[in-house]
Structure 1
Amino acid sequence: MCDISAPILRRPVVRRTTCVPAGFRECGDLAWRERGEVVEIVHRLDAATICDSALLSGLIRLVDDGIIAGQSAFEEAAKGIIRTCAATEARAWASFYDNSLRELRAGTSPFGPVHRRARSLVAGDSLLEVGSCFGFLALQCAEDGYLVQACDISAGAVELLTVAARRRHTELVATVGDATALPYDESCVDTVTLVHLLEHLDESAAEVALSEALRVARRRVVAAVPYEDRPSEHFGHLVRLTEVDLRRWTARLDHAGARYFEDHGGWLILTPR
């Protein structure tokens, strides 16, 4: 949810309300109405209830109903909901981060099993998360005691993660960087993760990203992808992936071993030479 690329078909305008105004159609914690090229969205989420799963469940229903379409509209609506859930934007983002991390730790987030598996696969003491977006995985690993770096192509996402880490007194370094040209030295960290990143890239770029991860990792590369019936355009997914794709990529990479398995999607574990 970090790159803005798809055209906005209906521009979302978001505000918080304690009750649904007349003329709006309810959709879970959200309600909406169309006004020409604008879709007005109201929500009841506040500082106590805003979190990644609540945000996504409401927005995905709007996508499924055809109310918003494309990555740009989805991201604009998401940021609008977060920013309006509290009296100040700083408190809103702090609540979003704290509540989302709490539910991931508790296992109540739908994405919790993916993060739990990724954390279990870290080898060594240091970690680089590539394509970190909000940085929830990086923050959890840093708070588990790992030496953590994170990079994302979005400067806005890197700034949000940096602010959240500072506020939570969590030591990590976040950097703007492209997965296909990582701004890191060879063999500089023990583990490199690419969790739900490769589906955002075309085949050539995905192979380069894996090659870059192998260059930077000393001990292990951990990649996870969703297995979808069709790519989720609102998340910026470009391709539908299967284990066949993972095996095809790794057949063309220089590595010392590969392992594949399924757990809430597909996983690829690579050992650098």
Structure 2
Amino acid sequence: MTMVNAGTAAPDSQVVLVRAKTGAEQGFSASAQLLWRRDAGRVEIAHPFTEDTIADSVMVSSLSELVELGVLHGQDQFEDAAVQMIRSSADGDDAAWRAYYSNSVDELADGSSPFSPVHLRARSLIVGDDVLEVGCCFGFFALACARDGHSVRACDISPGAIDLLTRASASLELPVDAAVADARALPYPDNHVDTVTLIHLLEHLDDEDTTTAINEALRVARQRVVIAVPFEEEPTEHFGHLLQLTEVDLRRWAGKVDHGGADIFTDHGGWLVLTPRQ
């Protein structure tokens, strides 16, 4: 990042600096959980999180509030701030990422995360022994499936995300075979796993690519494809969402691909469950 002069930086070019609180802080504004201030073309954010408290839910909720306040702008700033927050929550990167993963997986499992209902429903829809999570991001769902006893593969287009998941899988002793891959061209043979999941992935793609990704999932799955999407009034920019989706879109997707059966329902968003044609 490059420092710019105060008063000349556009909001999306400001430098973002995130650190742990150091005690009495002066000159900061406060949100519910964070302190923040602007100074010389940058925004400085101080957080209270430690190895015991850092987790995906508090990271997302606290930074989303800064988006609502106009402190952070766009996906790049949100993700930059998120990584800095995690890394500054403990002494050393390894300890910080281990705590973040451990706490996040635990809160998703015990129901204390707002995203827990989506994970719970998705896990209930898995059939067979083998699972492939497409677009896994940090890989919390893949790790939860491994904890459930499934043989798990996971892929994402981000090499950084796959590296973090691979390290977390080893640290938590939850085996996940993670690989860099594009949902539109999966590097797996036909009928490779029992269930393929696309959990909150398709809203990140354009309309044409959603069909390609669904066809790829159907090609790789032996028994089931599980798709979940958020229903939003407008796409959430800082999460990188491109599409505003409704049940109509799920039905349209089901009508555009070749399959052996479709189930569409709502539960904390929309769900499309497809049976591959044998």
TM beyond 0.5: yes
Structure 1 vs Structure 2 CA RMSD: 1.0
Quote how far apart the aligned CAs of 1:20 are.
5.0
Residue 126 of structure 1 contacts residue 146 of structure 1 at CA under 8 Å; is this kept in 2? yes
Aligned residues: 267
Matching residue's letter, 1:142: A
* Cα deviation 1:21-64 (Å, max 9, x = unaligned): 11111112211101233111111101011001111111010000
* SS of residue paired to 1:8: helix
CA distance in 1: counterparts of 2:112 and 2:173, whole angstroms: 24
Quote how far apart the aligned CAs of 1:169 are.
1.4
Look up the match of 1:161: 165
Look up the match of 1:115: 119
Look up the match of 1:182: 186
Matching residue's letter, 2:156: D
- Mark the CA change 1:20 to 1:157 in structure 2 (over 3 Å): closer, same or farther: farther
Quote how far apart the aligned CAs of 1:11 are.
2.4
Look up the match of 1:86: 90
Look up the match of 1:125: 129
2:12 to 8, 12, 17: 8
Matching residue's letter, 1:161: L
Q: Which runs of 5+ in 2 are unaligned?
A: 1-10
Residue 231 in structure 1 maps to residue 235 in structure 2: yes
* SS of residue paired to 2:149: coil
CA distance in 2: counterparts of 1:249 and 1:144, whole angstroms: 30
- Higher Cα radius of gyration: 2
* SS of residue paired to 1:101: helix
* Cα deviation 1:183-223 (Å, max 9, x = unaligned): 10000000000000000000000010000000000000000
**Range 33-42 or range 82-91, more displaced:** 33-42
Residue 139 in structure 1 maps to residue 162 in structure 2: no
* SS of residue paired to 1:255: coil
* Cα deviation 1:134-162 (Å, max 9, x = unaligned): 00000010111100000000000000000
Q: Could you tell me the TM-score, scaled by structure 1's length?
A: 0.96
Matching residue's letter, 1:257: G
**Range 11-20 or range 80-89, more displaced:** 11-20
